Structure 1
């Protein structure tokens, strides 16, 4: 008895008795009145949306600086700073009239070869022969007339329009009446002597034209002389355009000189085109007649097909050269820089025009490796900018996903680029963007909360409560994971089933 009295005097004994009483009380309460309440959810069809959220930065729009592949004098400026332009729209041109003329020649030559090939393949009737002969006679006469006319136009250009600038222009020692650069003055005076000699030979040659003449020889001679005169007139124009008023030379006189030279150049260019066109027409008509008279063999057709391909190559070559004289916008956008001025000389590769894309800004973000398979080009997105808060939403779409990874702090990420769908003056470069990319959306699919899904032996299962109170474990197949915490059930469950999501004790 004394032993128990001594034991009760020790403090820790009372602590042990207290703990025992509490444990017994809890056990007794739940044994007598405790119940397990099962929380379930009914399987139903729902809309599932999968989104990927990332943070990015607004960056300036794409821009390009444009220049010419070859140097030359600017003749046309078709857009100014601030203008909106379309992809492929012409912005600036340098002088290319000579190439345009050559293109017409080569296109006419191609047409001639194509007509010839068609004639080789088809054959002709007697009536066609008479028609062809009449066409040849008419074409020959037209070419002869144009050759004579070209001589008249060239004669007027030199002897009436240009000779007013010289003393003794037709002599072996013509003298320029005004001062200019020494080399240019020498070129003009020596060139005038050559032009006069060409006129003498040309005039004598024209007297030999008759019904039996080879008109191609005379047209080639005419074109050679006309192009030389054209080049000479270009040099004259440079000198005249450099003139400035002086006591002995008024601005009115200078303007008159410029008008005369411009008229002379126009007339010579017209003569070149007329002779070229008439020669091509004669060639076409003679080809038609020759084919109709002789017929065509298989070998001739093959040879003519090769001639057509060669003519096409010539046309393509001139077009390629012509394209180097034109600056076209490679994208739809806005002109931000325009340094081209009509009349200026530009060098090859010098930057003349700058264009930015029509969509003013884009957003760049780094996508985690786990999400890269979910995002696709053209996926839509909604984003907010920290500067304006979460209440202001902007729409965008994914336009690029880098194929190579970017390592950030030892983690693989993939850079994606999004494009704003609407222009907004509030958007500025460098702003932080919070982006939600809609990667997939499904309507009317069976779905349950993720917390109802368990893993057992490598398989996904849920616990289903039956009408009689039994609980069964059901194996399921998962589909889309929604951003709201629900998961698509592809197989294993039916609509209306009750799935256990938790158990609670009361």
Structure 2
């Protein structure tokens, strides 16, 4: 090999060595920074407020509308016994009803513009059929309960009439002050109480029957709404967004319309009504209750700190566990009252909130302690990241690129914050991407 060729050869080899060393040290430099990441996931985002409280009995409950308006009809009166879910009063709802119809038509139009998903539709159709069957079963069961209550009333009336005839006969034969007459009087009083109880029970059964059927009808309507929803294929994200937006608008319109009816939150006795038909229920007067009632059922009362009270609304559901029962056994309740006045305990401001259990349980006693997780909201099928991944004033994140070493700052549009430090991402990220939550220098 000539001297010139040797020089060229060694220059080439030296270049390769320099490139190799450069790459090695560059890789080591990059590897000197380690990124801890979290994957962008899609799922259900839940927000809860956790509280504790005690069971109360024979508690006074304020009756409040959730919206303002003119009183259209008052269906209850002072001294009337009502059952949970019974409509007590309504406000004028013509405009709200029109908004519901408008939103429904818009939703159906968008659904019609989309494709269909056969499996999802079959499942939704089956849900509708189940709801229809349930409604029929409820009607049949309620009819049987009413018939049984009517038979019990007839038997109680006959017993009372027989006791009355016997008492009058004893008085005529042996005098009102005789021991036989006093004994017959006691029997007559018992028969009268039984008759009155049977009459009361029949009224409660009939009212409960009406409420149950309204609830079952609502379940059927919800199933039909779900069927309309799944009639979209969700193949294109733009269409998904349009369907979801129209669905939310419709559900909000329905929710506003339902607020036009004030329903009894518990079984009990109406003790006060502060308004008359035609009077205006303004937002300024929502602090003054429409009326009051005494609950026959247990009421759950909890103290909510001021940092959380703005998240609580009437009608929100809650999952309950009782200290005296198995912690795995869960009950469900609904927020029925939020007291406007504050209570200060150990320099912390609290507001009392009352909840009504969905089902009565004979093991529960007055004064028992409970833990409650009040469901503030639940958003389904959303993109989520840990809140600690946010940078730049909370408007950006750092995304780890595919090479595993480089990162890119990216602006995002965030939504609501849920439990466990998770936050919704509306725009800027895709499912499966990795966001940096911590940077380590090795």
State whether TM-score is above 0.5. Answer: no
- Structure with bigger gyration radius: 1
User: Normalised by the size of structure 2, how large is the TM-score?
Assistant: 0.40
